[in-house]
Structure 1
Amino acid sequence: MELREYIRILRTGWVLIVVMALLGVASAAVFSILSKPQFKASAQVFVSTQSGGTVQDLVQGNTFTQQRVKTYAGLVTTPIVLLPVISNLHLSVTADELAKTVTASAPLDTTLIEISATSPDPVKAADTANGISESLTNVVQNIESTGSQTAQVKLTRVKEADVPATPVTPNVPINVALGLFVGLALGVGAAVLRHTLDNRVRSERDVAAISPAPILGGITYDPKAPKRPLIVQDDPRSARAEAFRTLRTNLQFVDAAGGARSFVITSSIESEGKSSTASNLAIALDNAGHKVIVVDADLRRPKLAQYMGLEGAVGLTDLLIGRADMEDAVQEWGRGRLHVLPAGSVPPNPSELLGSAAMHSLVRRLENEFDYVLFDAPPVLPVTDAAVLSKTAGGAILVVAAGKTHRSQLGATVTALENVGARLYGFVLSMLPVQGPHAYGYQSYGYGPVYAQDEITTGKDSRQMNHRRVRGLAG
């Protein structure tokens, strides 16, 4: 991944990273509070040898002493040194247990041995360090003495261990800093892992990785959308309304050389915003002066009549089975250039009706009479209705809910449309976030009056529009 991708991941998962960092700091603080303080005391022993007065004897003696220092430092944790200390101080531990609390080091190029002892009791730590230094002196004296000859090596305690005033552990600042570092590392790792495992579509880049079809528009998430689905009519100056007008503009340039255009508005799964997209796009096209009809082809869960505030008892189903005529089913909406064909009665065989010769004939008739024909169709994956209808009509426009639709689902939808030979005009990203790394840009701009060609009646008048049956359509 590129650096930009990592930055986007960090921006997306900043909450998780902060939470993990705080948990790391909290865990380190709790550990420091619950840990038993440990005190450390140190004593120093000087190692010397007896040598002649010549320079050569002094050099040889110094080299011999430095070699001996490393050996004597290793003796500090052996039972021969520790057992006398345990006996003298009346410690209730074994030599091995005491050895774990004792360290001995020899600074480079010196003949000093530093002996340190750690204990929860500061007095015991000092006594142990002093006792070990004295025991080491005696042990070395006994080992180096041979027969009647005195030892050539002499150990002298040059620094007694003092009782420490402050504990060496826990070191609260270091523990907190380490907890913060570990928490940040875990948070970043979790954010990257979540991004890797996340299969949902979140941006245009995710869609482009699945299909070369263009992104025709992006609609931001609006929690009030269920209460005002026709945002282009109810709040024409809003950012979402402008997004639908942008979708309208982009749609006008799709296959500009063609004649009458029919589009199936569908999605991969349910609740991605296809019905609101179809209805608002139809209103936006109507406001631009086009003759438009929007057809509720979702014969399983029709919503268009409810959104548009129309009576949906008679509609597409009745036309296909010959129970109603066009002028009885199609209704005018608004100023008379936008027409709506509700779904009508819910049939037992929606797929068969949408793939029938009657439906094919109806699509050709609508294309001849209207500038734009929009079909609000069911999702592609649960049923085959949309795929069948997309083949009959000009093609499909896929609505993709950001953060909800999985990439595998979108890929399966594109494949399903390709398998039936349907044309995919492009995608509309819905439910885009207004903040964060995947935020959509419309909300960042301010708008004045709506465009001149969008003569929209708002407020009280919008609720008193005359919706009437169509008379005099071409037979």
Structure 2
Amino acid sequence: MELTDYIRILRKNWLIIVIAVLVGVGVAAAYSLSRTPLYEARSQVFVSTQSGTTVAELQQGNSFTQARVATYVNLVETPIVMNPVVADLSLDMTSDQLAASVTASSPANTTLIEISVENANPVLAADIANALGASLTSSVETIETPDGQDVSPVKLTRVKDAVAPSRPVSPDVPLNLILGALVGLAIGVAFAVLRTVLDNKVRTARDIEQLTDRPLIGSIPFDPKASERPIILHADPQNVRAEAFRSLRTNLQFLEMDGGHSFVVTSSMPSEGKSTTTTNLAIALADAGKRVALLDTDLRKPKVAEYLGIEGGVGLTDVLIGRTKVSDVMLPWGNRPLYVLPAGKVPPNPSELLGSKQMAQLLEAFARDFDIVLLDAPPLLPVTDAAILAKNTSAAILIAAAGHTTTHQLDRALDALDTVGAKLGGVVLTMVPTRGADAYGYGYGYGSYSADPV
């Protein structure tokens, strides 16, 4: 993915990421508040030798003590040092439990031993650290004193007594909050990326470009009142959605360069906005002075007559079975060169009628008499009607609803057209959001979207 893809992911999922960060901070805060504050006290012991006066003897003694320091560090956490401290301070714990809160170390190249003690009581932490220093001194003197002698060659001296700390070392609330925020951010971003990778919906022009080399010829915004005013060019000609259909009209006219001017408008699945797109496009073309024939070839769920407010009881079905003539049922609409042929009654055999010789002849006649012929056809995947019609027209226009149509559905629809040898003129993206990462348009913004009528 490119940088723009990641920016789009962040813009689209910013709320999820913010919530994840807040949850991370909340969990870190809850963890910090649930922990008992621990205070750390440190004492320091110096190790030296008590014999030798010459330089050589002193150097030898220094090497000896440095070699012994590591042993004394490990000695701190043994029972011989711990038990006296437990007894002297009357601690309610064993030597092993006390050792768990004690850390002994020696800075490199020194003969110093640092004893650190963590405890919920700062005063007790200091007392234990000092007591351990004294106990270590006594234990080493006992161990290192040779048999038959009274003085040990090794001397331990407490050079720094522990004092009661004023601030706890654990939990580190600021650090925990930062770590919680970072973990939440990482989880939020990972979820956003995973959500995008697994998202199989067609949302942008790039999604369409990955499936076909045919152009995106239109981008239609969602109108929240689309169900109330599906024919936006008639209800509100200045609406931004109406302007989108005019833009589609302009782009469609470029597709006429090969001489074809009859188009099947279809989609992969129902409820993607194909009928409203077909009808509004027909009106836009007629407004531009084109002589337009609009045929409702959806003989299963016809919508054109309902949208245009005309009588649709008699129409294409009656013409195909020879019950009536085209001139008797072809209806002009509005004060423009637009003529509408309703679907008529729903027949029991739509595919056979649409694939008949009579339908092919009818389309040839319309192509001669009109500048543009638009056919509103059923979806490609549920039925074969649109694929049958596409063979007898110049090209198909495929509708895809942003955020609703899946890439698999669109790919299958493209395959259905390829199977019958139909030409795809272009793709129209409907229900396009106006704000957010998926917003797309030809120079103007679109609003948020939801379902568009068929």
Q: TM-score under structure 1 normalisation? A: 0.89
Superposed CA RMSD in Å reads 1.9
Whole-angstrom distance in 2 between the partners of 1:202 and 1:445: 15
Contact 1:239 1:443 (C-alpha < 8 Å) held by counterparts:
no
Unaligned runs of 5+ in 2: 447-454
Q: 1:294 to 1:107 in 2, by over 3 A?
A: same
Residues 57 and 239 (structure 1), Cα distance of their counterparts in 2 relative to 1, 3 Å cut: farther
Q: 1:206 maps to what in 2?
A: 207
Partner of 1:311: 311
Distance (whole Å) between structure 1 residues aligned to residue 66 and residue 331 of structure 2? 105
Secondary structure of the 1:253 match is helix
Does the alignment pair 1:375 with 2:347? no
- Residues of 2 paired with 1:170 and 1:278: CA distance? 66
Aligned equivalent of 2:423: 423
- Are residues 295 and 441 of structure 1, via their aligned partners in 2, closer, same or farther at CA, if it must alter by over 3 Å? same
> SS of the counterpart of 1:256?
helix
Q: Which residue of 2 aligns with 1:93?
A: 93
Pairs within 5 Å for 1:297-336: 297-336=297-336
**Partner secondary structure for residue 269 of structure 1:** coil
Task: Kindly state the Cα deviation for residue 51 of structure 1 after the two structures are TM-superposed.
Answer: 4.0
Aligned to 1:159: 160
Distance in 2 (alpha carbons) for counterparts of 1:80 and 1:303 = 94
Q: Provide the secondary structure at the position in 1 that maps to 2:353.
A: helix
Q: Report percent identity of matched pairs.
A: 56
Residue 336 of structure 1, CA deviation: 4.2
Cα 1:44–1:251, aligned 2, differ >3 Å: closer, same or farther?
same
Q: How does 1:388-467 map to 2 (within 5 A)?
A: 388-442=388-442, 444=444
Q: Which residue of 1 aligns with 2:342?
A: 342
**How much has 1:442 moved relative to structure 2?**
4.3
What amino acid is the match of 1:177? I
CA distance in 1, matches of 2:322, 2:77: 102
Q: Give the direction of change, closer, same or farther, for the CA distance of 1:96–1:358 in structure 2 (3 Å limit).
A: farther
Are 1:116 and 2:116 matched, yes or no?
A: yes
Q: Which AA in structure 2 matches 1:33? A: L
Deviation, structure 1 residue 263:
0.7
Alpha-carbon shift at residue 125 of structure 1 (Å)? 2.1
Aligned counterparts of 2:358 and 2:84: Cα–Cα separation in 1: 107
User: 1:206 is matched by which residue type in structure 2?
Assistant: D
Contact 1:317 1:347 in 2 (8 A): yes
How high is the TM-score relative to the length of structure 2?
0.93
Q: What aligned pairs does 1:180-219 form with structure 2 within 5 A after superposition?
A: 180-219=181-220
State the secondary structure of the residue aligned to 1:27. helix
Aligned mates of 1:66, 1:280 — CA distance in 2? 93
* 2:282 counterpart residue number: 282
Rounded to whole Å, the distance in 2 between the matches of 1:400 and 1:238 is: 21
In 1, the alpha carbon distance for the partners of 2:97 and 2:324 equals 97
Determine whether 1:65 maps to 2:74. no
Residue 231 of structure 1: aligned partner:
232
- Gaps in structure 1 of 5+ consecutive residues: 447-475
TM-fit CA distance, 1:443: 6.4
Q: Distance in 2 between matches of 1:97 and 1:431?
A: 67
Q: Secondary structure at the match of 2:387?
A: helix
8 A Cα contact 2:219 2:441, kept in partner: no
CA distance in 2, matches of 1:90, 1:329: 108
What is the CA distance between 1:60 and its match in structure 2? Answer: 2.8
| Equivalent residue, structure 1, for 2:30 | 30
- 1:397 and 1:425 in contact (8 A); partners too: yes
Aligned position for 2:450:
none
Report the equivalent of 1:40: 40
Alignment length, in residue pairs?
A: 445
Distance apart, 1:65 and its partner CA: 2.2
Instruction: Give the AA of the match of 1:371.
Output: D
Query: How far does the alpha carbon of each residue in 1:328-347 deviate from its partner, in whole angstroms, 9 at most, with x for none?
Result: 32211111411112221122
Q: CA deviation at 1:445?
A: 7.3
**Contact conserved, 1:122 with 1:165, CA < 8 A, in 2?**
yes
Pairing 1:244–2:236 present: no
